[in-house]
Amino acid sequence: MIYELISMKDRVSLITGGAGHLGRAMASALAEIGSSVVIVDLDLEMCQVVADELTETFNVPTLPIGVDLTNEDALRTIVNQVDKQFGRLDVLVNNAAYVGTSALKGWAVPFEEQTSESWRKAFDINLTAVFNLTQAFEPLLKDSMKGSIINIASIYGIVGPDLRLYAGTGMGNPAAYAASKGGLIQFTRWCATALAPNIRVNAITPGGISRNQAKDFVERYVSRTPLGRMASENDFLGAVAYLASDLSAYVTGHNLVVDGGWSVW
C-alpha cells in the first residue's frame, strides 16, 4: 500500500529554481519515484544539464525551460510549453528565490544599508512569481485531480533572526527575505482554502543548509540546533516526496518544518 501511495508514475512535476542545489535535489526525489519533471530556471543550459541527468539516471521524461520569473508574460508561456509536451501538471514546487547569499546590492548588509530596490526584487521572485505561477497553473493542477503545490519557505518566515550568528563573518540576514518567506507561508494557507478541494497547497520550511559558510557562523548555528548539524539537500527529499504524493492526500495548509529542531527552542 505504501508503495502505491508514493508512486508518481504518469504524473508531472515542475520545480522552479530547479538548476540550483536544492531544486536539483527535489527534482531527483520526484524523478526517482516516477514523476516526469519540468526544470525551470533562469539559465536554460543549466536546466538542460539537470534534465539530461534526470533522464539518464531515472529514465523519466523531462522538459528544461529557461525563463525570467519576474517577466510575467514570459512566465505564463510556461503553461503552454508544459501543456503541449505533457498535457497535464500534477505538482508545482515553488522553489526559486533570492536567499541570504544572493548578490544583490543593498541586500545582505546591515539594516540601515538595505534598499527598497532589493526589497522589491526579492518580493518579485519570492512571492509575486509564486502568485503568478499558482494562478497560471491552477487549471492544469485542478484537472489533474491530484494537484499539489509545494512552496519552499524558510525558518526566517516563522522566527526572527539571531544576528549574533553573523557577527564578523561578512554574512547578513535581509529583512526582505524574512518578510517574503513569511508572506509565502500565509499565501500557502490562503491557497489551501481557496483552491480546495481540487488542489492541495503546503509549504516546506528548511533550516540552514551547509554550503561552505564561514566557520564561525557554522559553529554558532550548529550550537543552537538540537540535531547538532546544518542541513544537506538530502534532508528535504522525504519532505517533497511526501507532500507531492498520495502519502499526504489528506494534508493541506500545512507548513512542514525541516530544521533539525532550530525553531523549537
3-state helix, strand, coil in the chain (%, to 5): 50, 15, 35
C-alpha cell at 51: 534534465
Annotated catalytic residue: which of 177, 221, 242, 250? 177
Q: In what order do the strands lie in the sheet with 147-152?
A: 62-66, 36-41, 12-16, 91-94, 147-152, 199-206, 255-258
Rounded to 10 deg, the angle between the 44-58 and 21-32 helix axes is 30
Using DSSP bridges, classify how beta strands 147-152 and 36-41 pair: parallel, antiparallel or unpaired: unpaired
Judge whether 177 counts as a catalytic residue: yes
Burial (CB count <10 Å: 0-12, 13-18, 19+), residue 169: middle
Active-site residue set: 177
